[in-house]
Amino acid sequence: MNAILATIGNCIHVQGIKNFENLLNKNGIGTEFIGVCIDIDKLIKIILDKKPDIVGLSYRLEPENALLLFTKLNNSIRENHIDSKFFFGGTPAVCELAEKTGLFTGVFRGTESEDEIVDKIFQRKKKLTAIDYPNTLYERIEKYYPIPLIRHHFGLPSLEKTIKGVEEIAKSCYVDIISIGPDQIAQECFFNQDNICNEFEGGGGVPLRKKEDLETIYTSSRIGNFPLLRCYAGTNDLIEWGNMLKDTINNAWGAIPLFWYSELDGRSKRNLMNAIIENQRAIKWHAENEIPIEINDSHQWALRKTTDPIEVVSAYIATYNAKKLGVKYYIQQFMMNVPPEISPEMDIAKMLAKLELISELSDDTFTILRMIRTGLASLSVDEDIAKGELASSITIGMYLLPHIIHVVGYSEAYNVATPKVVIESSKIAKGVVKNCLKGLPAIGENKKIIKRKEEIIKDVRVLLETINSLGDNIDPLTDPNTLYMAVKTGLLDAENLKGFNPGKGDIKTAIIDGTVQCIDENSGKIISEKERVARLNI
């Protein structure tokens, strides 16, 4: 096969047509670029002389002028009985006109993948089915890595709108994992609906009230790229929830807290000791049923104004529990930009400390999967600014070489994410990934990052040693009583736990040089973790 390529009219822009030429060459098609601003009469003469199989054209200027060019081209093709296949690339507005002419075998806006373009060139009609998309998390990661999977949460206050929205998102093929967000009544009272918890009314999310609701949502997602589905955990009856999600949506992974969904955060009525015990049982149940697990404790501490070392130690404790409870595939979520005032350098230092410590637990029986996420409180209510903040956050997170990107919709600072927002936000993420995979600037020699990472690790070792000393259990970090006492004594503390039993909320923090530090309430000076622990008089 051979092709001739040109820009037509008065268009001088060649990048798109040159990219098309490179793609043709990669696929064994000979090409000749005949120039820019080629008028239609000259183009037709060259086509009649060279008789190419393919004619690739580009025009990226005014749609009105493009329409005149297309009309003349159409008439000339018919008059001269030309049977070459024509392809066109341009701006979306011009491409819309090009499609309406019926002249072109393929019209490209620049959003298509290489595979999609090549399929058009060779006229391969590829209808992908569920069998083309792995239906387990690890298999899907293996297929696409180093391109991370895109995850987005979704749940509207209307079940019907949620079902339609899931279908729309799946059709878009931009989201690999849809996380269903149930309302708080469903999370707390699904298995006890005779005693509906009215205080959770209006808690956001989709009102799931029966098992069939989940089955219908799953059915609506069996289209497009057949996304994996998962669902936020219940705040009560966690094993019952796990079993139901396994049966209805083939839950991609379970997200079970260790300390949270309890009296400690007010998301559930469970006292902390019982919550820890039940959460551990739920984690073990998921492990026994070969369902991957995420324990998203660390950023919950951070969101309540804790220090960097406490955030990191909570990640280690959670990961340690997952391994001891038999989990095979463990998802560690790295929520960036928490708090929003943290500097990107110090944010990545904190996350590298977290990754280095939990990686000590990794072995042939325990695989850690990395998931990055934009901080919940870091997005502006101005959606244009929020889009920039979203892209910036993902760029920094890409230094962690994530397997999954948990995309936060750019509207979520002021409004629930609609299907449109979910798709747009996921496209932003894909654009960031595309550029980052070309190669990010190295940070391995950044002395500020290395220094801060080592400081955090040192403080975490102090905390781990002290927590281990609280109990006489052979394995203190999995002992519910030891974990409970770590909170009660203030070893694990956050400013915004004041008033949440048994949290202390006595710690004081401040952003200093882009890091989250513990400070003396009176002097404002930084307190080392060793000194803070000593002051607790445990």
Closest CA to 292 of 257, 255, 336: 255
Distance CA 275, CA 260 (A): 8
What type of residue is 139? Answer: E
Does 288 lie in the same domain as 399?
Answer: yes
Q: Please check whether residue 450 lies inside any domain of the structure.
A: no
Q: Please check whether residue 505 lies inside any domain of the structure.
A: no
Q: How many CB atoms lie within 10 A of CB 348?
A: 22
Q: How many CB atoms lie within 10 A of CB 297?
A: 23
Q: Please check whether residue 256 lies inside any domain of the structure.
A: yes
Does 142 lie in the same domain as 68?
Answer: no
Confidence band for 192, pLDDT divided at 50, 70 and 90: confident
Q: Could you report how far apart the first and last alpha carbons of the chain are, in Å?
A: 79
Q: Please check whether residue 499 lies inside any domain of the structure.
A: no
Does 334 lie in the same domain as 419?
Answer: yes
Does 170 lie in the same domain as 209?
Answer: yes
Q: Please check whether residue 362 lies inside any domain of the structure.
A: yes
Boundary residue ending a domain (416, 436, 456): 436
Residue range 354-389, pLDDT digits in tens: 999 999 999 999 999 999 999 989 999 999 999 999
CATH code, 10: 3.40.50.280
The domain tally of the chain equals: 2
The pLDDT score that the predictor gives to residue 198 is 63
Q: What are the distances in angstroms from CA 469 to CA 66, 115, 306, 490?
A: 76, 57, 22, 14
Q: Where are the alpha helices (DSSP H) in 51-113?
A: 63-80, 92-101
Tell me phi and psi for residue 488, to 5 degrees. -65, -35
In this prediction, residues 285-304 reach a mean pLDDT of 97
Boundary residue ending a domain (436, 462, 494): 436
Q: What angle do CA 421, 140, 371 make, to 5 degrees?
A: 60
The pLDDT score that the predictor gives to residue 509 is 97
* Environment class of 194 (CB within 10 Å of its CB; exposed 0-12, middle 13-18, buried 19+): exposed
In this prediction, residues 88-112 reach a mean pLDDT of 95
Bridge partner residues of 261 (DSSP): none
For residue 139, is pLDDT > 70? yes
Does 275 lie in the same domain as 243?
Answer: yes
For residue 471, is pLDDT > 90? no
Q: Are 308 and 512 within 8 A, CB to CB? A: no
The pLDDT score that the predictor gives to residue 369 is 99
Does 157 lie in the same domain as 110?
Answer: no
> Model-level pTM?
0.90
For residue 493, is pLDDT > 90? yes
For residue 194, is pLDDT > 90? no
Does 137 lie in the same domain as 116?
Answer: no
Distance CA 261, CA 450 (A): 35
In this prediction, residues 50-78 reach a mean pLDDT of 97
The pLDDT score that the predictor gives to residue 195 is 72
Does 56 lie in the same domain as 150?
Answer: no
Residue range 226-274, pLDDT digits in tens: 999 999 988 889 999 999 999 999 999 999 999 999 999 998 889 999 9
State both tokens at 450. 């290395």
What type of residue is 431? Answer: G
Residue range 104-133, pLDDT digits in tens: 999 999 988 898 999 999 988 766 677 789
In this prediction, residues 3-13 reach a mean pLDDT of 97
The pLDDT score that the predictor gives to residue 125 is 76
In this prediction, residues 146-155 reach a mean pLDDT of 98
Q: Are 52 and 2 within 8 A, CB to CB? A: yes
* Environment class of 205 (CB within 10 Å of its CB; exposed 0-12, middle 13-18, buried 19+): buried
The pLDDT score that the predictor gives to residue 202 is 58
Confidence band for 406, pLDDT divided at 50, 70 and 90: very high
Distance CA 475, CA 266 (A): 29
Confidence band for 8, pLDDT divided at 50, 70 and 90: very high
For residue 172, is pLDDT > 80? yes
In this prediction, residues 523-527 reach a mean pLDDT of 96
CATH code, 290: 3.20.20.240
The pLDDT score that the predictor gives to residue 221 is 98
Q: Please check whether residue 377 lies inside any domain of the structure.
A: yes
Q: Please check whether residue 456 lies inside any domain of the structure.
A: no
The pLDDT score that the predictor gives to residue 113 is 87
Burial 392-403 (b: 16+ CB within 10 A, else e): bbbbbbbbbebb
Averaged pLDDT of the chain: 95
The pLDDT score that the predictor gives to residue 45 is 98
Bridge partner residues of 255 (DSSP): 294
Q: Are 86 and 103 within 8 A, CB to CB? A: yes
In this prediction, residues 142-165 reach a mean pLDDT of 98
Bridge partner residues of 5 (DSSP): 33, 56
For residue 201, is pLDDT > 70? no
Does 163 lie in the same domain as 57?
Answer: no
Distance CA 481, CA 445 (A): 42
Does 293 lie in the same domain as 402?
Answer: yes
Does 148 lie in the same domain as 100?
Answer: no
Domain containing 268 equals: 131-436
Boundary residue ending a domain (121, 143, 160): 121
Beta-carbon contacts of residue 185 (< 8 Å; ≥ 6 apart): 196, 197, 200, 201, 203, 207
Does 140 lie in the same domain as 111?
Answer: no
Residue range 449-460, pLDDT digits in tens: 999 999 999 999
Q: Please check whether residue 484 lies inside any domain of the structure.
A: no
